[in-house]
Homo-oligomer: A and B are copies of this chain.
């Protein structure tokens, strides 16, 4: 039966209905944002479509973060904001989705076309009659943008916007003037599913690259596979797994790739963070003769925020649409068909690699008496044992982003972090989005957030939206009284202190009926929490305040500090040399 028949649609529907049906077809069931004068008629339409819901966020930046978190689970997210004030409030979140390859459709309700053409000075404008300024700003952080004005081609444009956001995994900006939401389009277009397939590669180019890679695969004695963030974003999880299983090559993930591969695979060795990797990781990766990175996110793998210092002679980088091999660059190669071709041509019998004694992931051990106060090192070790299959684990920029790398993820665990863009406060919004998405997936998932107290304050009100929807995430607030990472890396300046809040009582203030709050001060508190069998069931929202010393940080951060100190010395020397060059005249 055709979609229009199933949904019982009239021959002609409005463009707003068309948009929402397209989103529904892609299982984008929750739409984030806030209402405003210029988008309310659009949101009205959403309510009439069964299976869609309006999240109703507390502010637009949080809504953008939520759409991003949602999209990381469902492949596409959508936020609707209002012209000017709303869209600009969201733009930092959208920029994060752009940097981190997340498919988000940003729909902006715009003033009526009549006001725009007559340059009327409505509110939410800069008062200068310029109605295109916010669109111009958005194009800097979008892979595609359009304002729906052409009455004849509006359905095609909606299709283009959605397809691009989905296939390119980047934000798309789509403006809809408020007077055009009722514009009629033919519903039968909905019976043709959107073409979201990745186009095939040029077979000659693809074969050239596959042959080159395979020849190195076959002769490598000490190979390593590293999975980066775009394995998940561009849906090559299955191909990556097959490659690992068939080659048996040792496997690592980048911090952004954590959760992209099954960590219970026997050859999984942990998180590779360049020069600050744990000794056991460095031991393996330091001696490779062939290294392939699958699903690279960064344009230049060697200089990421985590200071990847490794430069293998035989290094292959597979980006979403590009391959780098030693000094050569092969543009316009889509990763999915490329990997499929690689797998079909791979002959295991020709591999020289012999499976070596497993360098399985090492989780640091630290024994502490039950009355002892908590330590980051100990907490991350313990929490790792509490994780379950299918957990969705979200970490904030800060100590959690480092701590999580020393945990072990059970099978089918999904990791969410914003390691490149690193917008503080992101994870609470993303947690809302992920928790909404989790309720829409077929299997049950627990949603687990780790966030610092400093970061929590930036976006705290989104907790209220979680409560409103009776979502049941675990929110671990790592309370170290301020911005510990900065404090550790920069100085113990008073501007890293924050106002102390009574976090555990926030759910009550935000109207929660069924919730649990715990303040975890000692090792014993923590142990009795994770041993409680009821605690494993995600049946209510939980605030778990983990009290940590202000200057206690995970081991990886300590390593980074040593390196930063070195760079700081270099910086001072460079300033001194500028000072010397610029001899001030005597006075």
Mark A residues whose CB is within 8 Å of B.
Answer: 11-12, 34-37, 40-41, 43-44, 47, 54, 56, 58-59, 61, 84-85, 88-89, 91-92, 95-96, 98-100, 112, 114, 120-129, 133, 136-137, 140-141, 151-152, 179-180, 182-184, 186, 188, 297-300, 303-305, 419-425, 457-461, 464-465, 467-468, 483, 486, 489-491, 493-502, 505-506, 508-511, 571, 574-575, 578-579, 582, 584, 587
Contact = CB atoms under 8 A, between A and B. Distances in A.
A578 B15 CA distance: 13
Copies in the complex: 2
B584 A186 contact: yes
A208 to B, nearest CB: 27
Given A112-B571, A121-B298, A61 B89 contact: yes
A574 B179 contact: yes
A122 B496 CA distance: 22
B127 A299 contact: yes
Given A58-B498, A499-B511, 13 more contacts: A40-B486, A40-B490, A43-B493, A44-B493, A47-B495, A61-B89, A100-B127, A120-B300, A121-B299, A121-B305, A125-B420, A186-B584, A468-B499
B305 A123 contact: yes
Nearest to A12: B584
B460 A37 contact: no
Given A493-B43, A510-B501, A486 B127 contact: no
Given A37-B490, A582-B184, A121 B151 contact: no
A316 B11 CA distance: 55
User: 5 shortest A-B CB distances, which residue pairs?
Assistant: A88-B92, A123-B305, A85-B423, A59-B458, A123-B422
B85 A299 contact: no
Given A35-B483, A303-B121, A501-B511, A298 B56 contact: no
A574 B112 CA distance: 11
A152 B581 CA distance: 11
A85 B92 contact: yes
A385 B210 CA distance: 81
A461 B141 CA distance: 28
Contacts of A582: 151-152, 184
A129 B303 CA distance: 11
A299 B125 CA distance: 11
A164 B431 CA distance: 42
B184 A579 contact: yes
Contact of A421 (B84, B186, B467): B84
Contacts of A303: 120-121
A133 B137 CA distance: 9
Nearest to A485: B37
A88 B84 contact: no
24 contacts: A11-B587, A34-B424, A47-B493, A59-B459, A84-B95, A85-B423, A85-B424, A89-B423, A98-B126, A99-B125, A112-B571, A120-B300, A122-B305, A127-B298, A152-B582, A179-B571, A179-B575, A180-B575, A184-B584, A458-B461, A460-B461, A505-B509, A506-B509, A509-B509
Nearest to A88: B92
Contacts of A497: 56
Contacts of A186: 584, 587
Contacts of A92: 85, 88-89, 91
Nearest to A490: B40
A343 to B, nearest CB: 28
A20 to B, nearest CB: 14
A424 B59 CA distance: 9
Given A99-B125, A179-B571, A35 B486 contact: yes
B510 A499 contact: yes
Contact of A493 (B35, B419, B499): B35
Contacts of A56: 495, 497-498
Nearest to A114: B574
A528 B3 CA distance: 63
A448 B550 CA distance: 37
A501 B464 contact: yes
A26 B141 CA distance: 37
A95 B510 CA distance: 31
Contact of A37 (B47, B465, B486): B486
A499 B184 contact: no
A461 B459 CA distance: 8
A123 B420 contact: yes
Nearest to A457: B58
Nearest to A33: B495
A456 to B, nearest CB: 9
Contacts of A180: 575
A85 B491 CA distance: 21
B95 A496 contact: no
